[in-house]
Amino acid sequence: MFVKNTSQLLSVNSYKSQKFLREIGLNCLEKALSVVKPENLIRKSIKIQDGKLIIKDDVFDLKEYNKIYIIGGGKASAEMAYTLEEIMLNSPINYEGIINVPEGLEIKQSETTKKIELNFATHPLPNENGVNGIKKMLEIIKRSSKKDLIICLISGGGSALLPLPKNGITLRDLQQTNALLLRSSVSIHEINAVRKHLSDFKGGNLAKIIFNYSRATLISLIISDVVGDDLDSIASGPTVPDKSTFKDTVEILKKYNLYQKVPDSVRKILDKGLFNKNLENPKPNDICFTNVHNYLIGSVKLAITEVIAYLKNEFLTNYFSDKITGDANDFGRKLYHIISQEIKKYKNIKKGILLIGSGELTVSIKGDGIGGRNQQALLAFLDFIRNKEINYKFLIIGANLDGIEGNSHAMGALIDNFTLEEMINKKLNSKKYLVNNDSNSLFKILKSEIITGLTGANVNDLIMVLLLI
């Protein structure tokens, strides 16, 4: 099981209907995590048979290549790598590689890689280890040839784990810019548009480097953690044409009053890009993508499908949004109205109701508390309804499926009628915790944080609502 504190979360013995909903909700969470586990995604998408590499419906004859090189990075890439290596045991040709993975990731003995080096770097802010890993990848690329095959493993978190600042930008300047972006309410698509224009690796630049050095065949295996599954935004799209421009980047920074706050070196690079189109990242018609094959092998939609299939006989199901974005506080309040409208539609049903959504919220950091985007949204929901009459049973789980969100150790939280009652009875000031961005501290008191540790998965966040009316 992924959830480590299940027994604590189920300790509501005097509330049978509430415990029933918690059991169902936690079972759904376990199923959702299992189906997007990187190992399962790789095995489902890839196989080697009769000397051929088969990815979905495409076939690559390995007799045509001299060697396979594996590069890339992200939160899910370690598990992707060791699973790929198990499959590679059936490969008729030699392979080696290096990928950047998060520091603190626990690697089991059974999950160690033999020929693919795991280089540990930091997230969400990049560090020198990440840069060193990229340099080793570039060394591999420089010795590759047109008769080689390069497989790039890409998952969420790659934007921070795969840093290669443009010439003139120091790592410290890049860290400062990332910190400014992450502390604002900038969406992940906008953040990654900025990141792509400060990097010589992201925004299709990896594909360009490979084309310029060797023209080796490039295959990218991609797990999405972004709303809409836009390939150019996942890990800031190192192997994908860049839809954004330097002009977009400058407009984003000005929109959020960050342009004058970023380091001088960053503004200098952006200003150069505005007036020199030759500095722009490669676009869809660029020749460097001639021999590039990008495959999306997993996203949160697989988890949604699994949960709906599991509950369809007992619950009316509604995938109410696959684009949950915006401010976490606003969404928490909005969720009450979404639930109210759904209940009006089904006044006399005997079945339960499942509302499920996916996306990624943002939090404007104004306090110094401990929390994360899903926990902030659930706390905003509790604060909004604490003085309202709730005449139905509800359970809501908000979870970052990679296992850690914000600066907390939780993947998210679970709230229900029992949680609401406990908060009121203990006279906990939800508004105070909300303003201080201290949602996790409140959920610790209420014993409703969800603890998994890093799961290895890395897809969009999941919001799941179970209702009994």
pLDDT by residue (tens digit) across 267-307? Answer: 999 999 999 999 999 999 999 999 999 999 999 999 999 99
Question: Under 8 Å CB-to-CB from 379, ≥6 apart: which residues?
Answer: 332, 371, 430, 433, 434, 439, 442, 443
In a domain? residue 273: no
Domain boundary pick from 263, 298, 333: 298
Q: Are residues 45 and 74 in the same domain?
A: yes
- Please tell me the predicted confidence (pLDDT) of residue 283: 97
- Give per-10-residue mean pLDDT for the chain (469 aa): 95 79 97 96 94 94 96 94 89 91 75 86 95 98 97 95 97 96 88 97 98 97 93 96 97 97 97 95 97 97 97 95 94 97 85 95 92 98 96 96 93 97 96 97 97 90 96
Outline where DSSP puts E strands in 338-379.
352-359
Q: Are residues 208 and 74 in the same domain?
A: yes
Strand order in the sheet with 412-416: 315-324, 352-359, 461-468, 393-399, 412-416, 449-450
pLDDT in tens, 370-410: 999 999 999 999 999 999 999 999 999 999 998 999 999 99
Residue entry with tokens 């949204």: 377
Handedness of CA 311, 312, 314, 315 (dihedral sign): positive
Which amino acid belongs to residue 114?
Answer: K
Q: Are residues 399 and 445 in the same domain?
A: yes
- Please tell me the predicted confidence (pLDDT) of residue 416: 96
Domain count, the chain: 2
Q: Are residues 22 and 158 in the same domain?
A: no
Question: Model's pTM, two decimal places?
Answer: 0.88
Question: Under 8 Å CB-to-CB from 135, ≥6 apart: which residues?
Answer: none
Q: Are residues 211 and 311 in the same domain?
A: no
Q: Are residues 86 and 108 in the same domain?
A: yes
In a domain? residue 319: yes
- Please tell me the predicted confidence (pLDDT) of residue 13: 66
- Please tell me the predicted confidence (pLDDT) of residue 254: 97
Find out whether 293 and 239 touch, Cβ atoms under 8 Å: no
Q: Are residues 211 and 326 in the same domain?
A: no
130: CATH: 3.40.50.10180
Q: Are residues 288 and 358 in the same domain?
A: no
Q: Which domain holds residue 76?
A: 38-164+199-244+281-298
